[in-house]
Amino acid sequence: MSNFKEESRWSNIALRILVNTASHPIEYAKVLIQIGHEPIPPRATTTLFGQPALALPNLFQYVKYIKTVDGFTGLYRGLVPKLCANAISTVAFQKTAESITFVNEPDPQIDEDDLPEHERRTRCINELVRDLASRIVAIIASHPFDVITLRMMAQFVGGETKYTRVFGSVVEIYRENGISGYFAGLVPRLLGNIASLIIASTATYAINKYIVYDREMRSYTAATMTFLASAVTYPFLVVSHCMAVNDCGLVAGLPPQMPIYESWTHCWSHLSANNQLKRGSSVLWRYYTGPQVIMNGKPIRISKENFYLQGTQ
């Protein structure tokens, strides 16, 4: 049995390495958007409802832009520490989950639909507690490598080369921010994951108990609720990524690219005030939400450059 668990663990790690490698360019572009880097000016367009708007490049166009600047290999900046983080996260999660047991654990061999109501509720609570504890341990253990990944990616903004290798990046983070630098952005990331798990778990239990009675349909409830919970808690991810690069010595984390935030709540307040908490959440349709005016039926972005040019004419 132990050999089977070890094989399962390492097969899961191998699968995650494959998936993360394939999706890395898209995730890379999303991170740059999340930290506020928009190198391609928005273009005039219309929404699906025919309203004038300014369109920003979608994720695939952003990936193409990164390739034109850094080449094909540049699309995989930060991949190595990201894979390290995922491997550590997977092992830490599974080891923690295996070590947590409950005295009132219902028989795992019995299908949930065949359990009495009180045992079904007990199983739901036990699984939630186990998942929460395992996820917290996994996030804390892997977060330093996630910070390295994010800072390697953020170097694209200013063209720096401070974070190139994993070991060198460990030294650089300590030099810039001390021990706390390894856990920059940890609190909003933890809160987002905890909130997501609680929302998904409780919603799945309630829907399966009071709304969905078909066994086959119930198998889709958890996946659907997990997706919706991730969407609801997405702003925590944006804030976490911003805090991971904020005031770290890179152009991406300093004014004018990004204000220096006193705390993650300060970052949240600033992004919320500017309607930026959901940036990077859309894959295909992205619209500029900053100050703009409609002139002759066309949207025009208002920026300092606009005022400067008008004043010199």
Lowest-confidence segment of 176-180, 209-213, 273-277 by average pLDDT? 209-213
| Overall pTM > 0.85 | yes
149-172: average pLDDT: 94
102-109: average pLDDT: 75
121-147: average pLDDT: 93
The answer to whether the CB of 34 falls within 8 A of the CB of 71 is: no
- Per-residue pLDDT at 309: 35
- Per-residue pLDDT at 295: 57
The residue range of the domain holding 22 is 2-312
- H or E, element range at 56: strand 52-56
More confident residue, 295 or 123: 123
- Per-residue pLDDT at 227: 93
Q: Give the CATH number, domain containing residue 243.
A: 1.50.40.10
- Per-residue pLDDT at 7: 65
Exposed, middle or buried, 101 (CB in 10 Å: 0-12/13-18/19+)? exposed
Please write down the long-range contacts of 169-178, taking CB distance under 8 Å and 24 or more positions apart. Answer: 169/81, 170/144, 173/144, 173/147, 173/148, 173/248, 176/248, 176/249, 177/247, 177/248
Q: Is residue 118's pLDDT more than 80?
A: no
At residue 282 the predicted structure's pLDDT band, cuts being 50, 70 and 90, is confident
CB under 8 Å to 128, separation ≥6 — which residues? Answer: 197, 198, 201, 202
Q: Is residue 32's pLDDT more than 60?
A: yes
- Per-residue pLDDT at 294: 63
More confident residue, 243 or 306: 243
152-167: average pLDDT: 94
Residues 283-311: pLDDT tens digits? 888 887 766 666 555 666 666 444 433 33
Query: Which amino acid, one-letter code, is at 124?
Result: C
107-118: average pLDDT: 70
- Per-residue pLDDT at 106: 73
The per-residue pLDDT of the chain, averaged, comes to 86
More confident residue, 166 or 310: 166
Residues 66-100: pLDDT tens digits? 999 999 999 999 999 999 999 899 999 999 999 98
24-28: average pLDDT: 96
Share of the chain above pLDDT 90, in %: 59
Residues 184-230: pLDDT tens digits? 999 999 999 999 999 999 999 889 888 877 777 777 888 899 999 99
| Structure tokens given for 47 | 């929404």
At residue 102 the predicted structure's pLDDT band, cuts being 50, 70 and 90, is confident
Between CA 79 and CA 74 the distance in angstroms is 10
Domains in the chain, number: 1
| Structure tokens given for 13 | 């790690």
Q: CA dist 152 to 3, 147, 148, 166, Å? A: 37, 9, 6, 10
The answer to whether the CB of 232 falls within 8 A of the CB of 226 is: no
- Per-residue pLDDT at 230: 95
